[in-house]
């Protein structure tokens, strides 16, 4: 039985929720704050200082791509849990001329990596130091600066020099910034692993004299690194003094990344995933992300049903969503990986006849156990943790949807000696042993096995949605491993089917199902017990997520051109516009 105090809290929250629900134009709409509004450009990111830096770049004549690069480098300073230059990610761009582009700057496995890298002599997965989640051997070769360099050269405005994109971040690293309650506490929450690596212990834990809210974090080594990157370009990270420092620290600590690995890193342009949902074009990330394909498969299964009539939080909708998601994630596990290493049948997976056949196996009255759902078979021949998302739109309507990551919060927990660079643990996104769950409980197949030079499969889903007339409507992405995909899909249907604005769509409660484990993850306080009872009766199993299911960030362009910026109520950050 809940205590009296708890009952009072539940009771008062119920009253608040009922009150706001009555103000909502459509029952089931989340009661949320207003999105931030601006006439010209807008940046929505998980730190106000980074958002402001992006806006300043646009005010100086830079476009959304220039601004996105400056925001990304600034987040490496002010949002060390996920912002990075020691990780990688994906940037989806829709330019004002209508062209769309997808930049893959995902980390690449070092050449020495191989299938059984994370398996010991007895065949057990190596956990902890030496494994794929923490320590020097957990890192892939970072791609962030190579990706930003490519984006700047090809899609930047041409009016803002590289050094002007790096300098604001360098200054923040040198001068320091004031830590919020959340950021100061998050270092302490990760102290057990951060403290194992001397540079991380010194910089982020002050050797045990922990930061408190209101303290200033200065990162002089990172400032020096950024000074070199500012002056020498992205090549500094891959062939310059910084590369030498990374390779030397790796060598001294049994890591795998060498000078040759850094020199061989390339950011790549990919053809974006393009699909339609109820007449709206959706542009998202292709492999090595699974995000775009899984999203389009789920949307195509949902499109055959009247989701609006089902209403936002109904058992019927959650059942359908779960069943579609279960099937799409089963395909993810089997078919998706780095397309440069494995045959990823993108066209087959996106084929409407195929997706319809998958949908036809859904029983609308009861759950199909995941053990009975395998990846789909094709009739046609085969064709030849943690993360942060931000979105930028400029006054001309060029939109950037960028998700990048060091995987787990604070990545591998390793800060490279003398550089201030916190490294990723992206190697955990490979299948360390195909068939065994990773950090996020995801089961993955042979195609995504560890191989030197390969990129691990991702769930990052930076997405742009167009209006029916082809103009940009909104962009959204999220952090949260595979839960990213669920957050993005549910935001899209909240806007398109349930007519929510971007803030409501992002804040609304959501669920997640990833085939295995066979359970619906739900947000505490986000699901009514009555709905759960109905779904349990249909054969669904539940697991509560005490925190949240992903954190999303988005921007919508209203019909009159006003930009609406939205940061998820589940996290921090701020949208800034002008
Ligand atoms: N590291 C999370 C992802 O790429 O999906």
Pairing of strands 542-545, 520-523: parallel
Pairing of strands 511-512, 574-577: unpaired
The rounded percent of the chain whose pLDDT value lies above 90 is 87
Coil, strand or helix: which one is 2? coil
| pLDDT score of 379 | 54
Would you tell me the crossing angle of helices 291-303 and 352-360 to the nearest 10 degrees? 60
Residue nearest to atom 1 of ligand 1 (CA): 407
Residue nearest to atom 3 of ligand 1 (CA): 458
| pLDDT score of 299 | 98
Domains of the chain (ranges plus CATH)?
273-387+481-559 (1.10.246.130)
**Residue 401 in contact with ligand 1 by CB distance below 6 A:** no
| pLDDT score of 6 | 37
| pLDDT score of 32 | 77
How far does residue 39's CA lie from ligand 1's centre (Å)?
Answer: 33
d(CA 427, CA 438): 10
| pLDDT score of 17 | 32
**Residue 385 in contact with ligand 1 by CB distance below 6 A:** yes
Task: Give the single-character DSSP code of 449.
Answer: B
Q: What is the pLDDT of residues 94-107, one digit of tens each?
A: 999 999 999 999 99
* Cβ-based burial of 430 (10 A; exposed 0-12, middle 13-18, buried ≥19): buried
Length of the chain: 578
**Residue 405 in contact with ligand 1 by CB distance below 6 A:** yes
Residue nearest to atom 2 of ligand 1 (CA): 481
Sign of CA dihedral 456, 458, 462, 463: positive
- 84: tokens are 């990075």
d(CA 525, CA 30): 12
How far does residue 281's CA lie from ligand 1's centre (Å)?
Answer: 24
Beta carbons of 494 and 504 less than 8 angstroms apart:
yes
Catalytic residues: 387
SS (H, E, C) 207-256: HHCCCCCCCEECCHHHHHHHHHHHHHCCHHHHHCHHHHHHHHHHHHCCCC
d(CA 507, CA 491): 9
How far does residue 407's CA lie from ligand 1's centre (Å)?
Answer: 6
Tell me the sheet residues that pair with 89: 105, 404
| pLDDT score of 443 | 82
pLDDT tens per residue across all 578 residues of the chain: 233 333 333 333 333 333 233 233 333 445 578 999 999 999 999 999 999 999 999 999 999 999 999 999 999 999 999 999 999 999 999 999 999 999 999 999 999 999 999 999 988 899 999 999 999 999 999 999 999 999 999 999 999 999 999 999 999 999 999 999 999 999 999 999 999 999 999 999 999 999 999 999 999 999 999 999 999 999 999 999 999 999 999 999 999 999 999 999 999 999 999 999 999 999 999 999 999 999 999 999 999 999 999 999 999 999 999 999 999 999 999 999 999 999 999 999 999 999 999 999 999 999 999 999 999 887 543 333 578 999 999 999 999 999 999 999 999 999 999 999 999 999 999 998 887 887 778 888 899 999 999 999 999 999 999 999 999 999 999 999 999 999 999 999 999 999 999 999 999 999 999 999 999 999 988 899 999 999 999 999 999 987 789 999 999 999 999 999 999 999 889 999 99
- 221: tokens are 């080594």
How far does residue 550's CA lie from ligand 1's centre (Å)?
Answer: 12
> What pTM value is reported for the model?
0.93
**Residue 66 in contact with ligand 1 by CB distance below 6 A:** no
d(CA 504, CA 490): 11
The enclosing H or E element of 42 equals: strand 42-45
How far does residue 209's CA lie from ligand 1's centre (Å)?
Answer: 32
Atom of ligand 1 nearest to the CA of 456: 4
**Residue 481 in contact with ligand 1 by CB distance below 6 A:** yes
């Amino acid at each position: 039985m809940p205590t009296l105090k708890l009952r009072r809290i539940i009771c008062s929250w119920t009253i608040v929720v009922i009150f706001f629900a009555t103000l909502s134009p459509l029952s089931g709409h989340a009661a949320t704050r207003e999105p931030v509004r601006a006439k010209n450009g807008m940046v929505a990111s998980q730190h106000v200082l980074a958002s402001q830096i992006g806006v300043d770049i646009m005010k100086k004549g830079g476009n959304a791509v220039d601004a996105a690069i400056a925001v990304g480098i600034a987040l490496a300073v002010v949002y060390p849990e996920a912002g990075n230059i020691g990780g990688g990610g994906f940037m989806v761009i829709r330019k004002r001329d209508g062209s769309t582009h997808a930049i893959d700057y995902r980390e690449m496995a070092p050449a020495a990596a191989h299938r059984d890298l994370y398996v010991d002599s007895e065949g057990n997965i190596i956990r902890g130091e030496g494994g794929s989640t923490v320590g020097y051997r957990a890192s892939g070769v970072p791609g962030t600066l190579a990706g930003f360099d490519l984006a700047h050269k090809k899609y930047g405005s041409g009016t803002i020099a590289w050094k002007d994109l790096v300098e604001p971040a360098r200054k923040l690293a040198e001068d320091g910034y004031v830590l919020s309650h959340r950021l100061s506490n998050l270092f302490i929450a990760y102290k057990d692993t951060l403290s194992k690596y001397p540079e991380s212990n010194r910089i982020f834990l002050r050797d045990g004299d922990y930061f408190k809210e209101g303290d200033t974090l200065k990162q002089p080594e990172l400032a020096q690194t950024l000074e070199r990157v500012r002056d020498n370009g992205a090549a500094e990270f891959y062939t310059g003094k910084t590369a030498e420092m990374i390779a030397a620290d790796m060598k001294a600590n049994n890591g795998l990344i060498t000078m040759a690995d850094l020199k061989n890193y390339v950011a790549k342009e990919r053809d974006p995933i393009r699909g339609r949902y109820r007449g709206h074009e959706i542009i998202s990330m292709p492999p090595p992300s699974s995000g775009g394909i899984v999203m389009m498969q789920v949307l195509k299964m949902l499109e055959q049903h009247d989701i609006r009539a089902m209403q936002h939080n109904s058992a019927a909708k959650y059942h359908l969503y779960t069943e579609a998601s279960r099937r799409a994630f089963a395909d993810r596990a089997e078919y998706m990986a780095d397309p440069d290493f494995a045959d990823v049948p993108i066209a087959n997976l996106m084929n409407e006849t195929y997706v319809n056949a998958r949908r036809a196996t859904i029983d609308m009255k009861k759950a199909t156990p995941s053990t009975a759902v395998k990846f789909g078979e094709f009739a046609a021949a085969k064709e030849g943790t943690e993360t942060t998302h931000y979105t930028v739109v400029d006054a001309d309507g060029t939109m950037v949807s960028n998700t990048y990551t060091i995987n787990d919060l604070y990545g591998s927990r390793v800060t490279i000696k003398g550089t201030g660079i916190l490294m990723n643990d992206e190697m955990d996104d490979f299948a360390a042993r195909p068939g065994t769950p990773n950090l996020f409980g995801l089961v993955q197949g042979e195609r995504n096995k560890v191989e030197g030079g390969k990129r691990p499969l991702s769930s990052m889903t930076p997405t742009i949605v167009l209006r029916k007339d082809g103009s940009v409507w909104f962009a959204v992405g999220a952090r949260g491993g595979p839960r990213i995909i669920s957050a993005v899909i549910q935001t899209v249907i909240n806007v398109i089917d349930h007519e929510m604005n971007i803030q409501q769509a992002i804040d609304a409660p959501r669920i997640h199902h990833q085939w295995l484990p066979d359970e619906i993850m739900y947000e505490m306080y986000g699901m009514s017990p009555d709905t759960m009872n109905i779904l349990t009766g249909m054969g669904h199993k539940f697991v509560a997520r005490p925190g949240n299911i992903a954190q999303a960030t988005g921007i919508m362009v209203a019909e009159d051109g006003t930009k609406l910026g939205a940061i998820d109520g589940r996290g921090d950050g701020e949208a800034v516009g002008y």
